[in-house]
């Protein structure tokens, strides 16, 4: 999925991002996907996940599968 033109989508900051400005992730709901970007670099790279893949990723994160 192309992430080349996401300038008109509504981005929202993750509720898990801290108030200090570090570790800030923003997401945008698209018709068939969810886009993700670093809020400190809004013009930088973005990722797009199909909705099922994004759901699986967030479930894995909540389950602690990516904890260090």
pLDDT at 63 over 90: yes
pLDDT of residue 25: 87
Proportion of the chain above pLDDT 90, given as a percent: 50
pLDDT at 5 over 80: no
If you average pLDDT over residues 10-34, what whole number do you get?
81
Burial 17-50 (b: 16+ CB within 10 A, else e): eeeeeeebebbbebeebbbbbeeeeeeeebebbe
- CA-CA distance, 23 to 32, in Å (whole number)? 26
- Domains of the chain: which residue ranges? 12-62
- CA-CA distance, 8 to 51, in Å (whole number)? 19
pLDDT of residue 22: 67
Do the beta carbons of residue 28 and residue 11 sit within 8 Å? Answer: yes
């Amino acid at each position: 999925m192309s992430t080349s033109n996401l300038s008109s989508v509504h981005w929202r900051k993750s509720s898990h991002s801290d108030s200090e400005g570090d570790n800030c992730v923003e997401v945008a709901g698209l018709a068939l996907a969810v886009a993700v970007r670093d809020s400190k670099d809004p013009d930088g790279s973005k990722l797009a996940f199909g909705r099922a893949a994004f759901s699986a990723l967030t479930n894995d994160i909540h389950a602690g599968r990516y904890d260090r």
